[in-house]
Amino acid sequence: MTLSRYRIDEEGRECSKCGEYKLWAEYHKNRAKTHGHQSACKICHNAYGRDRAEMRCKRCGSPVDTKHGKFCGFCRSKMNRLSHGNWYLVLRDPSECRPFLGRRIDALSLEYSLKDGHMPPGMLLQHIAWGKAKGLHVVRGKSLKVQWLEAVE
């Protein structure tokens, strides 16, 4: 027999959320539990479900899928993408309108952009692999021609 900090007997128990003693009819049934009922009463259990349904993403504020916690699906997948694989963070953008500054570019997109010559020469990029900074690179070559990355020491 397990010891519990809540009063439990044949007629009912204390709710694990509100602490009130209630009859077994006030609890949802659950065969997996020792006494065959949930530990929280129906009112507390349903209130908890409403609170979870109203949760917002900590990063963007959109509604959260209740199964996965604090972040929405988009932010969660973005965090996973940024922590895996090869990425390049633009540290310096010499172009006039600075469209790339502070952006992250995946390795494949960068490869095609360099091949097509779409990056401004002199752009400084930080290589990030598996969430760790690996080195600095600068874009060399003329615009609209084949370009390449050169390591900066």
Under the banding of pLDDT at 50, 70 and 90, the label for residue 51 is: low
Complete edge-to-edge strand list for the sheet that includes strand 124-129: 104-106, 86-92, 124-129, 132-140, 148-152
**How far is Cα 135 from Cα 86, in angstroms, rounded to an integer?**
12
Shortest CA distance to 109 belongs to which of 93, 91, 90?
90
Under the banding of pLDDT at 50, 70 and 90, the label for residue 26 is: very high
**How far is Cα 33 from Cα 101, in angstroms, rounded to an integer?**
55
Q: Note the pLDDT tens digit of each residue in 66-107.
A: 666 777 877 777 777 666 677 888 888 888 888 888 888 888
Strand partners, 14: 21
pLDDT top residue among 51 and 62: 62
Average per-residue pLDDT in the chain? Answer: 82
